[in-house]
Structure 1
């Protein structure tokens, strides 16, 4: 990447957050006209891309696996903001927004991002290698936190329907935070080397860690650039949450107008916030750094549940209405199949393109059944 390209991108991502915040302030009171809504939509997408770009700059400065962690948390902040804003706007499907968005994020990350990363990496390098110990610990944590937050509410008897009682919700929130905290400690302190890119032999077997000093990547940004990106990332996140609030009635009306179930709103939210991260994962997979792609995929899945559910639990103190977290039968079957396939994918520590294709078919199945349940 040339210096000119870096400066051009840097200037573009500096302008977007500032313009987006100004647009948010200018349209907060009046935004019903279609041209204004289109402008808000463009600014929203650009702000998401800008937020993740600046998170990536900060991530490059701090290195792996901290970088993947920062990206995952940044995306989750966007997701939580969108969910809360949609829930505060009310509507027929407000009680299931959190469940549908979190479940969609899990399916998109574990099947979509993971699948496309394996497919791209294996198509270019024939076999891709990763650390099964680190990736397996991520997957097991995702499974545990998904079971506590999304599966068990469908079987408990204290709450109404597929809801947790207040005490159960508090326990699930604390359990999620504990699991996420334990994973972060493992990833960044105790077993950091399990989450770094690996080298491999001609059979795809891992042989050691990638030498980060000789990987041909651009030098890390300066401390000044990293701090500027950190500020701009926060500014972008503020713009994303605010613009999403303005656009949420349009999203709901569009889904309703197409005759799709309200669960599709959650899918739209998840697709929106995860699109830039998907791009980052694909770029790393193409460079034969699939471990980073898997860190992004499974780390985002974990953060989507482990941070979103506790935040929503706290928000329910002042939000009216029920909070439905339990999955429907079809969703539980899809989750179970995904868990089984992902386990078989991760255990060998290497994968062919077929593994990625299988995960993408599962994602397509989820998207189709979301629109046609």
Structure 2
């Protein structure tokens, strides 16, 4: 990595994000979101800077991960993305308008975007270029087994509990489920990075060890810029929530659309990397990035949001509607068939994209 200079965007966007937050914090400047032409321009600038800062944060996390190796590299990447996600969800949930379903909608959107949209694009892109692509069935089955359990106990089971009427968990139930998901994710990380690392590496390739090509100077700069990027996203999350609320109200979109926006913002950097890997005939890496992000979202975001909701005495709705549960179950059944052979083609990718299209359509026309 040190052979290439640090991209300018990796320090420009965090700097712009900090400057934008400072500017909006000075009342006399009058900079902020309003439903005027100037306010719309501010919203566009905010979204561009926010997206750029998220990309910068992921870039710096990858630089550090390359240097420190596994399992700490994977954990660092996961924590960086999760901090951003929790900040965005909490800022909208704690806004002027209560959105108790946002965490549920975001997690569900992540699963549907990843398991249908991203997986479908990766398989289709790879199939068009290479006809067929191979991957490790054992590793994919591990991903799916953990993902199915996590999604079921966080998104479906709350509808069928007796202690409290659905779609809620009682405090005791929410605490138990949060601990269970964290434990599942921790054991999964241990399995992926230490115990059975070979399950998640394509045949004929080898997992890179800690990289010695990252200089200590670059490592220090990336560590500082990573902290700045994460802090900037957290500080701008409140401004983002105002833009999302106003945008949804103006276009008349359902509340679930906010969850999709947050999910897209969080998944964009990893999605670009996954599609690039598929184009490079490394579908295994695409699967690792895609399904791994789903596990991290449920395993870490739900417990973090649960703690925030309990501490601030906020309502947290987790159970999905019957329609969404059908889509979730169909997604898991389809994923088991897709990843059950170790070989993919364009038809698998197209089927996943059709399910993703159904998901998006049903958000607006339920």
Give your verdict on TM over 0.5: yes
| SS of equivalent residue, structure 2 residue 319 | coil
| Matched positions, count | 355
Match 2:205 to one of 191, 203, 210: 210
* Contact 2:277-2:286 at 8 Å conserved across structures: yes
> For 1:203-236, what per-residue CA distance to the aligned partner results, in whole angstroms no more than 9, with x for missing partners?
xxxxx331568xxxx9943343234223322221
* Contact 1:118-1:285 at 8 Å conserved across structures: yes
Q: Residues 180 and 212 (structure 1 numbering): CA distance in 2 closer, same or farther, change over 3 Å?
A: closer
Matched, 1:147 2:183: no
RMSD in angstroms over aligned alpha carbons?
2.2
| Rounded Cα–Cα distance in structure 1 between residues aligned with 2:119 and 2:72 | 19
| SS of equivalent residue, structure 2 residue 311 | coil
* Contact 2:120-2:348 at 8 Å conserved across structures: yes
> For 1:101-144, what per-residue CA distance to the aligned partner results, in whole angstroms no more than 9, with x for missing partners?
11101111111222211111222111111111011101110110
Q: Which residue of 2 aligns with 1:236?
A: 229
Query: In the TM superposition, what are the counterparts of 1:320-335 in structure 2 within 5 Å?
Result: 320-335=313-328
For residue 174 of structure 1, report the CA deviation from its aligned partner: 0.5
Match 1:264 to one of 243, 257, 261: 257
| SS of equivalent residue, structure 2 residue 7 | helix
Q: Which residue of 1 aligns with 2:196?
A: 191
Q: Which residue of 1 aligns with 2:8?
A: 11
Match 2:19 to one of 3, 11, 22: 22
Q: Residues 123 and 227 (structure 1 numbering): CA distance in 2 closer, same or farther, change over 3 Å?
A: farther
Match 1:87 to one of 77, 88, 93: 93
Matched, 1:58 2:64: yes
Higher alpha-carbon deviation: 113-122 or 124-133: 113-122
Structure 2 unmatched runs, 5+: none
Give the TM-score, by structure 2 length: 0.91
Q: Which residue of 2 aligns with 1:32?
A: 33
* Contact 1:99-1:326 at 8 Å conserved across structures: yes
Matched, 1:136 2:137: no
| SS of equivalent residue, structure 1 residue 321 | coil
Query: In the TM superposition, what are the counterparts of 1:1-373 in structure 2 within 5 Å?
Result: 6-7=4-5, 10-28=7-25, 30=27, 31-33=32-34, 34=39, 35-62=41-68, 70-92=76-98, 94-196=99-201, 198=202, 208-211=203-206, 220-373=213-366
| Rounded Cα–Cα distance in structure 2 between residues aligned with 1:348 and 1:221 | 38
Higher alpha-carbon deviation: 20-29 or 248-257: 20-29
Give the TM-score, by structure 1 length: 0.89
Q: Residues 327 and 243 (structure 1 numbering): CA distance in 2 closer, same or farther, change over 3 Å?
A: same
For residue 76 of structure 1, report the CA deviation from its aligned partner: 2.3
| Rounded Cα–Cα distance in structure 1 between residues aligned with 2:219 and 2:199 | 26
For residue 61 of structure 1, report the CA deviation from its aligned partner: 3.4
For residue 10 of structure 1, report the CA deviation from its aligned partner: 2.2
Q: Residues 131 and 251 (structure 1 numbering): CA distance in 2 closer, same or farther, change over 3 Å?
A: same
For residue 12 of structure 1, report the CA deviation from its aligned partner: 2.4
Higher alpha-carbon deviation: 120-129 or 130-139: 120-129
* Contact 1:255-1:262 at 8 Å conserved across structures: yes
